[in-house]
Amino acid sequence: MAMDFFEAQARAKRRTARLVWLFAAAVGGTIATTYFLVIYGLDFAERAQAKADDITPPMSLWRPEALLCVGMVTLVVVGLGSLYKWAQYASGGSAVAKGLGARLVEPHTTNTKERVLLDVVEEMSIAAGIPVPAVYILDGEQGINAFAAGLTTADAAVTVTQGTLEQLTRDELQGVIGHEMSHILNGDMRLNLRIGAIVFGILVIALSGRGVLWSLRGFRASRGKGGGQIVLFLFLVGVSLLIIGYIGYFFGRIIQAAVSRQREFLADASSVQFTRNPNGLVGALQKIGAGGAGSELDTHRSAEIGHFLFAQGFTSMFDPVWATHPPLDARIKALFPGLDADSAKRTGFIPAPVPAKMGISPPPLSEKASDLGDISSIPLVADPLIAIASVGVMTGTHIGGAARLIASIPPALRSAAQSPDGVVALLYGLVLDSEDETLRRRQQALVVERADGSVSRVFNGLDSAFRELSPEQRLPLAQLALPALRQMPSVRVMPFLATLRELVRVEGQVSMFSFALQKLVTRALSLGGNPSREGGVQVATVEEVLPEISIVLSALARTASNEDMNERAAFAAGVSKIKDAGPRLTFLNAADCGFDALDAALDKLAGASGLVKQCVVAAAAHVVGADNQILVAEAELLRAITAALDIPMPLLAAGPID
């Protein structure tokens, strides 16, 4: 079962739209309830006054002024509450993790279990083609649980409990992380944050009522006329807000839980698809159900983040309607329909792994890429359709290839990716020209001129290691460097990005791959520090970005074409995949599709809809594969371009995507 990434993203958007209507209905019900209480109160007051005047007025159910007032006040309270919570989430996944008291796992940790956790996250991230997320641990939490949070892949954070780290085997841990990776790839993280913000906004009504009641503690009414009536009025207001708010919150939580339960089944299935080892995930679920600490969190915020979690994080008197996860037995049976979950729990029996069609792995890498000769000229994928179908897909083949690739990276560079000074030197080195020695020396001189002493020393010391790198190692190494890069002090970010930008524009001669790598790092660092800058979809149709598509395809054609396929033919191969737009796409000369133009084009395309991005990826894959093969260097260039558009393309391997 191959997952269609773009369809998954579209489903996430459709779910968001449905949720907006459902929560709007919940808020509408809250307004209606408040309105009827208000007009009843007004009627009661009017009757009391009329009784004194010996008049009996009729009760009026339609009071438009009251409805308008109640509606405005309710919407303002819910809106401000939701905005407040969204502002807390706007700093990204790390803010959510830190808000729960989680501890960041340092990239250079020497703790064995933490190292295994980082290795699993890194392998799966590289396999999926996404930036490596920050990793956190909830110390002291003995239950087995985990969650992924963030607004984009660039600011994602994966958090596990101490119990998860201590009780699970590597395969079981991989199953849990695969489940969380599914939430990242399916667009569930942003949806989770939106749901949490809206539900909190509804809860604010109840919290306002509780605040009113709390303010009456010790309140002494004046002995003057009306003092007791004021206290009574405030008490009734507080009780009414409390009841109304919790009614709205009750139904909001039901909606939240129902959506969450369905997505958990999909994430379980995706985890098995990713790892090709259902035993790992089932083993983790069985350990949760076997007793002990289970999966509950020992925090008052467990209900607030319950829909983020891998397993049920809290119990409630309103279970099962508030349960954010299906029962463990149901999840196990969904993976193994013929398995008696109760007997499996008693005996500890786990069925053998389901055989999987693994395909053909990428060419093996040795400790030194130079031992393979020119790896960039190795045909990797014969059909561009394989590259297109791989978007958002991860299998055991990809994970195994990522593990082997990480292990092949020179130790000095792997170590540099884990330290603040080392990671700056590393990324400078990754964009150095690998063919023109004169240009390379000019770039090295620029680094020495711009960088501080400690970075320069690390940079110079890594020169021989940089020369050993193959094209297939450079993009994964940049992705591995992102967690350490995110810890860079803010005052160093802009000078670093400026130097990196200048390195790929030295006389305009540096390769397009180096440019794409710089673009990926710049975008990931920018969104990682301020994910709310990702403003959603600004471009809905292909027609709005035809000039930008022309720039990208022209630049790719000029880079990827070879003696067997000229530039115009490669460009035409890509254009043919964009329906009805061919005549309006123009093959540009080199001056019109340079780095500055390409930079602006990628920025605009990054804000396009999934449908537009899907067209761009299809066209780009056919440009680099116009000669019916995609070489290693071409594949990495394609992956770097798609990564700059926030599209996860995994390591490419010959063979079908199953």
| Catalytic residue positions, numbered | 180
Tokens 């027609």 appear where? 543
From the list 143, 256, 151, the residue with the least C-alpha distance to 203 is 256
Contact 137, 105 (CB under 8 A): yes
Contact 431, 469 (CB under 8 A): no
**Residue 109 and residue 122: Cα distance in Å, rounded?**
14
Cα separation values, 342 from 141, 269, 327, 336, Å? 26, 21, 12, 13
Where would I find the H helices in 431-544?
A: 437-450, 453-461, 463-468, 471-485, 490-503, 512-529
Here the tokens at position 65 are: 């002024």
**Residue 75 and residue 52: Cα distance in Å, rounded?**
37
From the list 655, 656, 605, 646, the residue with the least C-alpha distance to 128 is 646
Q: SS3 of 260, please?
A: helix
In whole angstroms, how large is the CA radius of gyration of the chain? 29
Contact 308, 100 (CB under 8 A): no
Q: How would you classify the pairing of strands 630-631 and 379-381?
A: antiparallel
The one-letter amino acid at 133: P
Contact 213, 238 (CB under 8 A): yes
Here the tokens at position 530 are: 């301020």
Give the 3-state DSSP-derived string for 27-86, with helices as H, strands as E and coil as C.
Answer: HHHHHHHHHHHHHHHHHHHHHHHHHHCCCCCCCCCCCHHHHHHHHHHHHHHHHHHHHHHH
**Residue 186 and residue 260: Cα distance in Å, rounded?**
13
Contact 367, 410 (CB under 8 A): yes
Cα separation values, 535 from 12, 152, 445, 524, 606, Å? 16, 11, 38, 15, 10
**Residue 181 and residue 172: Cα distance in Å, rounded?**
14
Cα separation values, 277 from 181, 269, 290, 330, 377, Å? 15, 11, 21, 19, 33
**Residue 418 and residue 487: Cα distance in Å, rounded?**
10
**Residue 44 and residue 623: Cα distance in Å, rounded?**
75
State the distance between the two ends of the chain, measured CA to CA, in whole angstroms: 6
Residue 530 burial by Cβ neighbours in a 10 Å radius (0-12, 13-18, 19+): middle
From the list 597, 587, 594, 580, the residue with the least C-alpha distance to 541 is 580
From the list 555, 541, 545, the residue with the least C-alpha distance to 605 is 545
Cα separation values, 17 from 10, 20, 209, 322, Å? 11, 5, 30, 21
Contact 647, 619 (CB under 8 A): no
